[in-house]
Chains A and B, each alone.
Chain A
Amino acid sequence: MRRGLAPLLWTLFSAGGTLAAFLYPIHLFLTGLAFPLGWLDPPRHEFALSLLRHPFTRLYFFALISLPLFHWAHRFRYTLYDGLMLKHLTIPIVIFCYGTALAGSLAAAYTLWTLP
């Protein structure tokens, strides 16, 4: 890994960690527990789509998906190094972690850009 990228990756880790800390618990609670268990009614499709179409919401969901993926990539890379002691596999690990984050970000951008 070139040294020039390190500050960028660190910034993405930090921004994604902050976003995940503030927003993931409530979103995961609603989507994953409160709606399926019937504690709260999920938004109807029509409303969900109209909400998603708003430019601010598109940006919000892009950031909500992309930045925490880079947070995961950076942290998981070191989890693999230290936890499983896989330092010798640096290049495949780096490609897998940041590659997955990049692919997820592109998929989110494409979906939000081409909303019906």
Chain B
Amino acid sequence: MPMSNAAHPTPFHPKWYRRRVSVWWWLESWRYAKFVLRELTSLAVAFFAGLALWKIRAIAAGPEAYARFLERMQSPLFLLLNGVAFLFVLYHAITWFNLAPKAMTIRVRGARVPDWAIQAGNYLAWLVVSAVAVWVLRRG
């Protein structure tokens, strides 16, 4: 059928040509791959939320359940999963902090705080928070 720009309602809408996009479109370039890797960090986040839930339930259930939990963490499967998930949550943290200046602009006496200062503040806070977490858990 001849195509025209005039909008006529027709009972049979013409099918425009569309390029089929593969599910693997994001492997075409490093930029796309980095974007998809960042999006996939959410799976590692959900994985650790589940692990944390499992751990507090084991602690609540008693010393034997807690010991079993610690033992399960030593299995090769969990060491592998935890290692991979750790790399992904690190990637999440780094991309999150690097984007922080875009998410919030901070002004001090009318002047905009430069991006690097906001990022540096985030990384510094990250170090302090991590050190505190280690310190609290090591007291036992």
Contact = CB atoms under 8 A, between A and B. Distances in A.
Interface in B83-140: 83, 85-86, 89-90, 92-93, 96-97, 103, 125-126, 129-130, 133-134, 136-140
A72 B50 CA distance: 12
A69 B42 CA distance: 9
- Chain B interface mostly helix, strand, loop or mixed? helix
Interface residues of A, number: 56
Interface string B58-87: 011011001100100110001101110110
Contacts of B70: 35-36, 42
Which secondary structure dominates chain A's binding surface? helix
Given A20-B89, A23-B129, A26-B130, A65 B49 contact: yes
Interface in B26-55: 26, 36, 39-46, 48-53, 55
A22 B125 contact: yes
A104 B50 CA distance: 8
Interface of B: 21, 23, 26, 36, 39-46, 48-53, 55-57, 59-60, 62-63, 66-67, 70, 73-74, 78-79, 81-83, 85-86, 89-90, 92-93, 96-97, 103, 125-126, 129-130, 133-134, 136-140
8 contacts: A23-B133, A26-B134, A27-B48, A31-B52, A32-B79, A37-B74, A45-B62, A52-B60
